[in-house]
Structure 1
């Protein structure tokens, strides 16, 4: 398992309002929160009591670690805690980032609909880079074959309707190691600054 900054579901309007309000209440991590993030950023231990294991590492109880994780989730520092499977080992070897040229007047609504589709693992709105890159909506699809990914892309195309002006599928050509945001360890107090 890993501590992930990926949204776990499409945001509802109230979630967007909460997120916007939370972004105004940004707080710095204290030393304890930072220690918890450092201890979990490579993943939770695969043991019956992962919170207890992390707690022992940072000098607190598992219940206190869980409360701190939940507080960081509530303020938006951590978006979710989730399992991150290796989809290649599960047989999903065709991976296509679909890029879409979607009418800006409809992208907010349609982007949420696309993000809610079960076959979409990641969905982002991105700026266009005209004239060479007209695409503003990205949606990652995984399949057991390219044909399966292309069928999924056709379903997305139908969902986007007349608001879609074009798309491409960019297939993965190699496997890259995926990691989330990493914090650097705090410098020790014995180092001199000069």
Structure 2
């Protein structure tokens, strides 16, 4: 259960942290708390699993990355953990997941999202993943985004 103060902190930040040099101090002023307490509350909520992380989420479209490809791979099961972790650590992979196959229609079990300023850039990055996966990978393809979806996390309502 969230304390009233933690709930207010989530409400104050669910649209983003203040874009100022000291966001913890700014939040503290708004809520009447010291900056170190704001930070400690975020850390406790993260440790308790209430929030997953505090991170920057850039708008990649505004940065010029308008081509988005979900690369999907058929990776040998005995190598999926090791190669999935290696793929997820590539600097151009924004997220990477293991997913179940749905044979005979869907043989892919590793998904890795890449963004680029052109289709060619996405394909070049996919080729780098292909080289990393080596002989442990069978077939693969790239699924390109066709629409921009609004991405937001959980939103609390004021009561």
Normalising by the residue count of structure 1, what TM-score does the alignment of the two structures yield?
Answer: 0.74
TM-superposed deviation, 1:46: 1.5
Q: 2:6 aligns with which of 6, 30, 33?
A: 33
Aligned with 2:44: secondary structure?
Answer: helix
2:27 matched residue in structure 1: 54
Aligned with residue 89 of structure 2, among 98, 116, 122: 116
> What CA distance in whole angstroms lies between the structure 2 residues aligned with 1:120 and 1:130?
26
Which residue of the other structure, out of 126, 129, 139, is the alignment partner of 1:166?
139
Q: For this pair of structures, how many residues does the alignment match?
A: 159
Shift of 1:55: 2.8
Whole-angstrom CA distance in 2 between matches of 1:32 and 1:133: 47
Alpha-carbon distance in 1 for matches of 2:100, 2:11 = 32
Q: Which residue of 2 is the match for residue 138 of structure 1?
A: 111
Q: Distance in 1 between matches of 2:4 and 2:80?
A: 40
Normalized against structure 2, the TM-score is what?
0.88
- Alpha-carbon offset, residue 59 of structure 1: 4.1
Aligned ranges 1:2-21 → 2 under 5 Å: none
The whole-number CA distance in structure 1 between the counterparts of 2:22 and 2:45 is 20
DSSP 3-state at the match of 1:81: coil
Counterpart CA distance in 1 for 2:142 and 2:157 is 39
Deviations 1:91-123 (A, max 9, x none): 211110111111121111111000000010111
What corresponds to 2:152 in structure 1?
A: 179
The whole-number CA distance in structure 2 between the counterparts of 1:80 and 1:121 is: 15
CA distance in 1 between partners of 2:2 and 2:28 (Å): 17
Q: What CA RMSD, in Å, does the superposition of the two structures yield over aligned residues?
A: 1.8
Whole-angstrom distance in 2 between the partners of 1:75 and 1:136: 30
C-alpha deviation, 1:186, in angstroms: 6.1
Aligned equivalent of 1:150, options 98, 123, 137 = 123
The residue that corresponds to 1:23 in the other structure is: none
- Where structure 1 has 5 or more consecutive residues not aligned to the other structure, the ranges are 1-27, 188-194
Q: Does 1:66 align with 2:39?
A: yes
How far apart, in 2, do the equivalents of 1:143 and 1:88 lie? Answer: 10
- Are 2:43 and 1:43 aligned? no
| Runs of at least 5 residues in structure 2 that lack an aligned partner in the other structure | none
Q: Secondary structure at the match of 2:78?
A: coil
CA separation of 1:129 and 1:69: change in aligned 2, threshold 3 A: same
